[in-house]
Structure 1
Amino acid sequence: MARDGARGCAPGPIELWGGVECSVVRIGDGYSSQFDYGGCPRPGDIDAFAALGVRALRQPVLWERVAPRGLRDADWRWPDACLQRIRALGIRPIVGLLHHGSGPRHTSLLDPAFPDELAAYAGAVAARYPWVLDYTPVNEPLTTARFSGLYGHWYPHRRDPPSFWRALHAQCRGIAQAMRAIRRVQPRARLVQTDDLGRTYATPPLQYQADFNNHLRWLGWDLLYGRVGSDHPLWSWLVECCRAQPEDLLWFAAHRCRPDVVGVNHYVTSERYLDEDPERYPPECRGGNGRHRYADVEAARVLSPPSAGLSALLREAWSRYRLPLAVTESHLHAPREDQLRWLAETWRAVERAREAGADVRAVTLWALLGSYDWDRLLTQRRGHYEPGAFEVRRGRARTTAIARMAAALARGDPPAHPVLAQPGWWRRPSRLLYARAAPVPGPPEPGPQPGARSAPILIAGAGTLGRAFSLICGQRALDHRLLARAELDIADPAAVERSLDACAPWAVINAAGYVRVDDAETDPERCFRENVLGAQNLAAACARAGIPLVTFSTDLVFDGARSAPYPEDAAVAPLNVYGRCKARAEACTLDRHPGALVVRTSAFFGPWDEANFLAHALRALRAGGRFDAADDLTVSPTYVPDLVHACLDLLIDAESGIWHLASGTALTWAEFARRAARMAGADVAGLRARPHAELGLAARRPRYSALGSSRAFAMPALDDALARYLREGPPAPRIAQAGPACAPAR
C-alpha cells in the first residue's frame, strides 16, 4: 500500500482482510454499542481470525470506549491485549478511532472543537502503538453525516443540509488532522479511508436527483483528496443549501489528505432506485426533495436486469482516483447460503475489476463476529443478531460456512459449495417486488445460468416437518427432492440405496418416522421399525457415500427429573416407548455416521399445520369453547419455520453431533396456550389448566423436558415466533369446543 498510490493493476493475489462490527452510535442521551451484546473480540478470537488467512484486521480503538472522560482517564487494557496479539500473529492492524460515532459525550459532530479533539486522541493512540501503520480515523464519514445530519437516526438527530455539512466537515477535517497527528509519531502511517459506495438509478423525471446522489457518494473522498473547488458539481449546493463557507471547502485543497487506500463498503442496500410514483411502494419507502415526491427503494427490488454490480463500481472508483482500492465491508443479512453467494460474488467482482486494470488489493470478511440491531439501523436495542464468519453466543465463537469459504479464498482456491449453483436472492426473479425496466451501466455480474441445478438436498418424509423443509428450501433457492413414504421407505435398506443413487444428493434430511407418542405404547414394533431401523439405515448409507445427514429426536428422551433446561450432554432416561426408540435412534445414527447432525426439539407449532396443539387451542378459544391443557408438564415450544431455517444453516455450516433447537422459553402446555391466546386477543376463560393425569394420555411424560443448549447458536425467542405465527394466520375457528389436549405428536 504505497503512499504514492498505484498506476496499474494490483500486485500479487487478492488479500483476505477481516473486520469486527464495532459501531458505537449515540441515540439521544444513550449509546448503542455492538460490544455491549458480547460481540467484543477477545485475544483468543484473533487467533481464529489468523487461522483463516486474514492478512489485515480492522481493529477498533474507539474514542468513546477508550477515553469517554478524556485522555487522563483512558483505559487501554482491551486494545493493548488485542493489538499485542495481532502483532504477535503477524497480522497488519488497520486501527479505527470512530465507527459511526460522534465522540464522547462532551463533544459531537456539530462541535467546532471536534476535529482538534479527535486529532489529540489520534496522537495518543499513535504514541501508544507507534508500530501501527494503517489507520481509519473515521469510518464512513459521509454515511454517518447523512444518518446524523440529514435523516435524524443518530445523534445529534438533525434533518437539514447545513447540519449534514457541519457533520461531514467535522469528520473529514478530523481525519486530516488526525492523520497529521499520527504522522508526527509514525511518518509512514497510511490512511485507509472507507465509505459506502453504491449507485442511484431513477425513472426519467427523477434522473436529476439520481445524478445528484451519484455525485454526493464521492464527497467525503473528494474532500480529503482536495478535489472540491468552485468547479465541483456540488459546490453550489454546498454553499447555497448547506451554508458551507468557501474557505472551509477550500481548506481541504490546501491540506490534502489523500487516502492511501480507498475502502469501498458495499451492501445490497448501497444501490437505490427512485420512482416518481410513490404510491406503488410501501409508506416507509416514500419521501421527497421539495420538488418531487418519490419512492426510494433497493435497486435490486426494481431493476431487471440487475445492476452491473460491485465490479463496475470498483472500476468507477479506480478511474476517478487512481488509488489502490479494497473492499472494506461486504455483508449480507440473509440465510447462510445467500451469505456464501454474496461473498463468492464479491470475490469474483474483485477479480474482474483487477482483470480490467483496477488496483484492488483485498476483500474484507465483514463482520467476523456478526452484528446486532442493524435491522433497525441501531436505533432500537432489541438484540437482533446476524451471524458472520463466526457466530457468537454464550461466550464462545462458532465457525460458520462463511469462515470456511473465506479460508479457501485466502489460500487461492475458488469458492466452492453446492449452494453456489443457484443465484442469491438479489438475482432471482422473486426479488422483483416493484419491477421496472431501467438502463444500467454495463452487463450485470455473471452468475449461475438460469435453470442451473446443483446436487439436491434429499428430504425423506412428507409429513409436517418434511413439507416445511420443502417449502423453505424452495424459498431459499436450495435444490431439493421431497420423498414421501411411498417413494422412500427408510426402513428398507435397498430403498435407501436406490434413492441415494437416483437423487445423488449432497445432503439428506430425515423428516420421516413414527410420531404418535401414545399409540407407540401399543405399537412398539412399528415405532422401532420407523424410528430406529429407518434412522440406522439412512445413517449407514449416508456415511458410506460421504453425505451429510440431519435427523431429529425429541425432548422425550429425558425423564424430567431436572428443574432446569436440559443441555445436549445430559444423560437420557426416557419414560415411554417413543422416547426409548428416539434415544436408540440417536445412538445408532451417531455410531454409524459420526458426522451426522442430530437435532432434539419439542412441541412443534407452525403456520402450515392445522393439527398442532396451538392451532387446536386457538380454534377452540376463539370460538368461545373449552380447551384443556396440562399445567404440570413443562416443555420448550418450537416454531417450525425457525427450526427449519436453523437446521439448514447448521447443515450448510457442516455441524454435527447432538443439538437442542427450541424457541427458548420453558413453560407448561397450559401457559403456552394462555400466552398465545392473549397475544391473539382470544378469550382465555375457556382454558382449563389440568394435571396431565386427567387427560387420558397413554404414554408417560417427563414433568420437565425443556431444552437448553451450550452451543453458540440460538433461535428467535418464543414471543417473536408467536407474533409471526399469528401474522401468518393460524387456522380459523371451526369448532365450538375441543376435548383434552397435551402434547402434539412429535
Structure 2
Amino acid sequence: MTQGNGRLELWGGVECTVNRVGDQFIRQLERNAHWERIDDLDRFASLGIRAIRYPVLWEQIAPFGLASADWSWPDERLARLRELDVTPIVGLVHHGSGPIDTSLVDPEFPSKLAAYARAVAERYPWVAYWTPVNEPLTTARFSGLYGLWYPHGRDEATFRECLFNECRGVVLAMRAIREVNPSARLVQTDDLGKTYSTPVLEYQAYFNNELRWLAWDLLCGRVDQSHYLWAWLTDRCGATPEEILWFRDNACPPDIVGVNHYITSERFLDDDVEDYPDHHRGGNGRHRYADVEAARVLAQPTGGIGPLLAECWARYALPIAVTEAHIDARREDQLRWLAEIWRGCEDARASGIDVRAVTVWGMLGLYDWNCLLTEVRDYYESGAFDVRSGTPRPTAVAHLMRDLARGDVPAHPVLSGSGWWKRDDRFFTPPRAVPGLQFPPRPVTGEAHAPILVTGATGTLGRAFARICAERDLNCRVLSRGEMDIADPASIERAIDLHQPWAIINTAGYVRVDDAERDAERCFRENTLGPANLAAACARHALPLVTFSSDLVFDGESDSPYVETDAPRPLNVYGESKARAEALVLDRHPDSLVVRTSSFFGPWDQHNFVSIALRALRSGEPFFAAQDMTVSPTYVPDLVHACLDLLIDRESGIWHLTNDGEITWADLARRAAALSQVDASALQACGNQHATLPARRPRYSALGSRRAFPMPTLDDALARYVQQATRH
C-alpha cells in the first residue's frame, strides 16, 4: 500500500453485511456464495488490486461467544490473501450490530467488540489494517434515527446511543489490537455525501453537512463545547458532557479516512414540495420539505468526488482513500462512474491531497440494497463479477479494474458517453436552478469515440436498439440495407471504413417463417450468408459482433427448456438458416456473441403477438391461439438491454436470452388480457397448430440457460408492457 507517494492504488471490497429483517439474519456472504468459494480470492487478485476490505465478522465467526468461535474460514482466507500478496483491511462489524447477545444500544457493545478484536489480532498478528466498525454514522442514522435497521430507533437519543457505542467500540478495539500489534492502522470508513438546498433551507443543509463528519470528529477528539453539534448532542440527543469528552480524552484518529461515495448520498432539500411524491416529503418541525437525490433535481450536476475530497482534506489533513465506489446502473454507467471517481482522485492528488486508493465495492455484487436491506427482494446489482450462475462471471468493471491497476488510461468506447447523473433525462421533477449554487465540472471519462453499427434499420430489433442506445448515451448508427448489405462483403467493408465502429450488432434478417419454405434462397442469403460475411469482416477488423438466432433451431422433442449446449435440430427452412448461421459465425469469428431468443413482444411494435391479441380481444373479435405450442416470450426492451450489457462485458459464444418463464400462445394471450383488464372470452384456443402451419413448428421450444444472465420474469415483463402501452 502506498505511503503518500507512488500512484493511485486500486483496492477491492466484498459486500458482507449481516442485517436483521424481523428475527431473520440475512448474510450477504451467503447470498453471493463467497462464503463457499475461496477461489474468488484468486479472481480478485487477478484484477491487480493491492488491498481488499475483507470481513472477519463478529456475528459470523463468534455468534455465541469467543469460547465457541470458529476460525476455520478466516484462517483459510487470510492465509490465501498473504500468498496472493493482497493486503487485507479486516472488518469486524459491517452494518450489523454484533452477535445475538448484544446490539448497538447495549452498553457493553464496545467492550465486547474490543474483546473480539483482541482475539482476532492475536490470531492474525501480521494484519496491519483494520476497520472495526464500518460506517458508524450511517449505521447509527439508519438504526437509531430512521428506524430502518435493528434496533429500529426513531429518535435522537437512540441515534446517539448507537453512534457513541460504535465509536467507543472503534477506540477500544484499536487499543486492544495495538496491544498485540503496535503498528496496526485504522481505516475508518463512512459515507461522505453532501446536502444542498433552496435558500429557505440553508440552515438545515448546514446542519446535515456538519452531521456527516460527526463519527470522524469524535474519533479525532474534535468534539468539545466549541463544536457546532455540542448543543444538539446534549440538548436533543441526551448526551452528557462526560460521554462526549471521553472521545477527546481517548482520541483515536484514523490513519486513513475511508470515504464511501454513492450518487444517492448527495441530497437536495426543497421547500416547494408539490412536485414530489409523498415518500420524499418530510420536515423538521420548522419547515416542510422534500429530501431527494441531488442528481435527480439540480439543473447543474454537482462537482462529484473532487470537491468532497478537498473538504475532507481541509478538515483533517489525513490520508484519504475512497473505500467504496459502486453504482446500481447499466453497465456503461458503472464504468463511467468508476472512471469518473478515479479521475477525480487523480486530480485531487495532483492538487496536493493525499489520496491513496479507490476501492471497487461489492466486487461480487450486492443484494437488496435498492430497499436498504429492509426486505428480502432478491434484487441483485452486479459488480466486477456477476455471481448469478454460481460461477462468478467477470463483467466490464473487472476489465476496467485491470486497466486501472496497470496504470492504463481508461479507454472503453462507452466512456465517451455521459453517465445518467449528467444526462437531461435524469430529472423526475422540473430541474431546480438555485441562485448562487455553482459547481465545478465533473471529470470527463472519455473522448468522442466510434459508434456501434446496428444493421436492420426498419426492423423491430433495429429500431429498439436505436432507441435504447440513445437512452443509454451509447453512440449508435443504425444502417439500412442500402447503407450496408450484409450479404455483400464489399458493402460491409465500405460501411466499416466509413463509420469506423467499435462493434457491430446484426438485427437484419429474413423473418417470415412460413414464406421461407418457398423462398429458401432468399432466407439463406439474409439469415446465413449475411451473418457469416459479417463475422469474417469483424474478425479481420477485430470488432465484437452480436447476431441473433432463434428457438426454431430445435425440434421440440424436449420436455424441459433447451440450453445453449443442446444440439440444433431444426424442423423448417427458417430454423435451418439460423442453425447454419450459428456454426458459420462462430467458426469465422469465435469471439462473436450469438443470442438465441424467441417470440418478441414490446411497446414500440404493434405487430407482435401480444399487441395483436389485445387489439382483437378489445374489439370483441374472435382470436385464435395455439394451446399446444409452448414458447419463451421475450420482452424486446429487456432483450436489448441484456445484449448491450453482454457486448460491453466482451462476452461471446451462444447465449439464450428470454424472459424467465414458459407458456403456450393461448395462455400468453390470456395472461396479457388479464393484466390489461381486457375481456378474453373471444379467445379460441386451438390444437395441433405446430403441425398444420406451412412451416413445421416445434411443439415445445422454451429456452433455458446455463450461462445464467437472468432476465426479468415473464409476468414482470408483461406488467411493464401493459404500463407502457397504457401511457401510449
Equivalents in 1 of 2:560, 2:76: separation in Å? 37
Instruction: Summarize the Cα distance change of 1:312–1:382 in structure 2 as closer, same or farther, 3 Å threshold.
Output: same
Distance in 2 of aligned mates of 1:590 and 1:730: 41
Alignment of 1:461 onto 2:460 = no
Partner of 1:475: 471
Q: 1:671 maps to which residue?
A: 667
Q: CA deviation at 1:695?
A: 8.5
Alignment deviations for residues 38-60 of structure 1 (CA, whole Å, 9 cap, x no partner): 34252101101101111101111
The CA distance in 2 between the partners of 1:18 and 1:194, in whole Å, is 14
Q: C-alpha separation between the residues in 1 aligned to 2:79 and 2:208?
A: 42
The offset of 1:64, in angstroms, is 2.0
What residue is the counterpart of 2:109 in the other structure?
Answer: 114
Matched, 1:688 2:696: no
Q: CA deviation at 1:488?
A: 2.6
Aligned equivalents of 2:66, 2:627: Cα separation in 1: 58
Q: Judge conservation of contact 2:603–2:724 (CA < 8 Å) in 1.
A: yes
* CA drift at 1:624: 4.2
Q: 2:425 aligns with which of 427, 430, 454?
A: 430
**2:230 paired residue among 230, 235, 238:** 235
The range that moved more, 710-719 or 229-238, is 710-719
Aligned residues: 724
Match runs of 1:309-458 below 5 Å? 309-433=304-428, 434-438=430-434, 439-440=436-437, 443-447=440-444, 453-458=448-453
Equivalent position of 1:17 in the other structure: 11
| SS of match in other structure, 2:242 | helix
The answer on 1:722 being equivalent to 2:715 is no
Task: Say which is worse superposed, 504-513 or 181-190, in terms of deviation.
Answer: 181-190
Deviation per CA, 1:274-304, whole angstroms, max 9, x where unpaired? 1110112222211111110011111112323
Work out the CA distance in 2 between the residues paired with 1:202 and 1:193. Answer: 28
Aligned residue in 1 for 2:123 = 128
Greater shift in the superposed pair: 471-480 or 112-121: 112-121
Look up the SS of the partner of 2:387 in the other structure.
strand
* More displaced stretch, 610-619 vs 501-510: 610-619
**In structure 2, C-alpha distance between the alignment counterparts of 1:335 and 1:455, rounded to whole Å:** 20
The SS at the match of 2:392 is strand
Displacement after TM superposition at 1:607 (Å): 1.0
CA distance change for structure 1 residues 493 and 27 in 2, over 3 Å: closer, same or farther? same
Q: Does 1:583 align with 2:579?
A: yes
- Aligned residue in 2 for 1:53: 48
Identical pairs, percent: 63
Note if contact 1:625-1:686 (Cα within 8 Å) is conserved in structure 2: yes
Tell me whether 641-650 or 602-611 shows the greater mean CA deviation. 602-611
Cα shift readout 1:182-222 (whole Å, capped 9, x = no counterpart): 22222221111000001111110100001001100000100
Question: How far did 1:440 drift?
Answer: 4.2
CA distance in 2, matches of 1:261, 1:53: 21
Counterpart of 1:743 in structure 2 is: none
Q: How far off is 1:706 after superposition? A: 1.4
**Distance between the aligned counterparts of 1:716 and 1:185, measured in 2?**
51
State the AA in 2 paired with 1:63. Answer: W
Structure 2 Cα separation of the partners of residues 255 and 245 of structure 1: 16
Measured in 2, the distance between the counterparts of 1:97 and 1:136 equals 7
Equivalent residue in structure 2 for 1:535, among 513, 520, 531: 531
Check if 1:34 corresponds to 2:28. yes
2:703 counterpart residue number: 707
After TM superposition, the score normalised by the length of structure 2 is 0.96
RMSD: 1.8
Change (3 A) 1:535 1:303: same
Q: Which moved more, 1:689-698 or 1:379-388?
A: 689-698
Deviations 1:372-401 (A, max 9, x none): 111111112111111111111221011111
The partner residue of 1:494 within 490, 505, 511 is 490
Say which is worse superposed, 279-288 or 364-373, in terms of deviation.
Answer: 279-288
CA contact (8 A) 1:615 1:730 kept: no
Alignment of 1:620-635 (within 5 A): 620-635=616-631
Would you say 1:509 and 2:505 are equivalent positions?
yes
The aligned amino acid for 2:477 is R
Match of 1:199 in 2: 194
What is the CA–CA distance in structure 2 between the aligned matches of 1:472 and 1:497, rounded to whole Å?
26
User: 1:742 aligns to what?
Assistant: none
Deviation at 1:687, TM superposition (A): 3.1
Q: What is residue 573 of structure 1 aligned with on the other side?
A: 569
Residues 552, 11 of structure 1: CA spacing in aligned structure 2 closer, same or farther, 3 A cutoff?
A: same
Change (3 A) 1:40 1:682: farther
Offset of residue 442 of structure 1: 5.0
2:615 aligns with: 619
1:174 matched to 2:166? The reply is no
**Aligned twin of 2:589:** 593
The structure-2 alpha-carbon separation of the partners of 1:188 and 1:530, relative to structure 1 and needing over 3 Å to count, comes to same
Q: Is the 8 A contact 1:453 1:479 kept in 2?
A: no
What's the offset of the Cα at 1:326? 0.3
> Which of 144, 147, 152 is the aligned partner of 2:142?
147
Q: Say which SS state the counterpart of residue 26 (structure 1) adopts.
A: strand
Task: Tell me if the contact between 1:17 and 1:362 (Cα under 8 Å) persists in the aligned partners.
Answer: yes
- With 118-127 and 681-690 compared, the bigger mean Cα shift is at 681-690
Q: Which amino acid aligns with 2:206?
A: D
1:106 CA displacement: 2.4
Deviations 1:79-110 (A, max 9, x none): 22221211111111011111111222222211
Tell me if structure 1 keeps the 8 A contact 2:189–2:258. Answer: yes
Q: Distance in 1 between matches of 2:470 and 2:174?
A: 51
CA 561–496 in structure 1, closer or farther in 2 if over 3 Å, else same: same
Task: Provide the rounded CA distance (Å) in 2 between the counterparts of 1:29 and 1:467.
Answer: 49
Is the 1:607–1:730 Cα contact (8 Å) retained in structure 2?
no
- More off after superposition, 699-708 vs 13-22: 699-708
* 2:180 matched residue in structure 1: 185
- Assess if the C-alpha contact under 8 Å between 1:172 and 1:223 holds in 2: yes
Displacement, 1:632?
2.0
Provide structure 1 residue ranges, at least 5 long, that are not aligned to the other structure: 733-746
Looking at structure 1, the residues matched to 151 and 622 of structure 2 have their Cα atoms a distance apart, in angstroms, of 55
Q: In terms of mean alpha carbon deviation, does 675-684 or 167-176 score higher?
A: 675-684
2:81 aligns to what? 86
2:220 aligns with: 225
Q: What residue is the counterpart of 1:523 in the other structure?
A: 519
- Tell me whether 647-656 or 718-727 shows the greater mean CA deviation: 718-727
Contact (CA 8 Å) 1:524, 1:577: kept in 2 or not? yes
- Distance of 1:487 and 1:595 partners within structure 2: 25
The corresponding residue for 1:604 is: 600
The Cα shift of 1:618 comes to: 2.5
1:396 aligned counterpart, secondary structure: coil
Q: Which amino acid aligns with 2:71?
A: W
Cα offset for 1:680?
2.9
Q: Distance in 2 between matches of 1:692 and 1:541?
A: 43
1:27 Cα shift? 2.3
